[in-house]
Amino acid sequence: MKLSSHLLAAWAAATATALAPVPKECGNGVLYPNTTMDLPAMVNCTRHTAYQCLDQYNLRNDEFLTANATDNGTISLKCEESFYDFKVADNGGFDGSLVVPGPVKLKSVSIQGQLNREVDPTNLTTIDFPDIVNITGQLNIQNADKLSSLKMPKLEIVLGSLHIDLSGGPGINLTFPILYSVGPGLFIKGNITGLEFPVLSRANFITVESTGKLDCTAFVANVVNATDPFVSSDSRKEAVMCKSDTGSASMSLPSDSDSGGGPSFRANILLLAIFVSCASLFV
């Protein structure tokens, strides 16, 4: 049965009343805490479904909206669930520790200190997101030269790139125990003494630059199967590249265009692609 225009207009009006702007502390989609005192209210924002809707011209409206639990059944088809960005530019408001329990799914996580690294890097020594599972955009941690502990034990997927730059910091062992998928690329830099992705099954590119005693040969061999078949180019020679104080290694899976695609040939290519030297591999 086709609904009349009057009924459709009434339904649309009812839908509009089901949604309201998110509370002020929710930052219209950007959670930007300055101190630990800001965290509880902002974390609470992620416990309620947020939406972004199309306007009268079918363009996406930037405004974040929320609905009462009893109203969720009336959400318009022109609205879709949206997720929060979490950003920290730490200036000492966290006393060295940033622990964020609660959020399970975020659009992005960005912890970068102030823009000028030489003047005001973050003071954080510990970052812990004990419940985060899914990041639909980027995970970006930079200007954090005091960080000695980073924990995201439940993180499974990062749809954007994963970029961690801890240059100048203390030795750190990074482990992502159940992270299985990363989007465009995975880039890690700093005094990395250990690096583990035990279940990683997808990452386009992986680049690691460590000033610590990371075993690049073992690391590259452990993660290369997570990457796509790769064709070397002037801009990048291998899908996985790693260098550290103990040496360097690089590796790729052969592309479908490689000749002699039998198993033994592919195995030999993989073995030949690993090498250890102190020379930089990055062009």
pLDDT value of position 127: 96
Parts of the chain with a pLDDT under 70: 1-17, 68-77, 91-92, 114-119, 256-283
Mean pLDDT estimate for the chain? 82
Give dist(CA 141, CA 166) in Å, integer: 8
- For the CA atoms of 212, 216, 218, 222, the dihedral, rounded to the nearest 10 degrees, stands at 110
Give dist(CA 268, CA 7) in Å, integer: 69
Which of 32, 55, 52 is closest to 42 using CA atoms? 32
Domain map (residue ranges) of the chain = 1-82
pLDDT, tens digit (0-9, with 9 covering 90-100), for 75-92: 666 888 999 999 998 766
Beta strand pairing call for 126-128 and 97-99: parallel
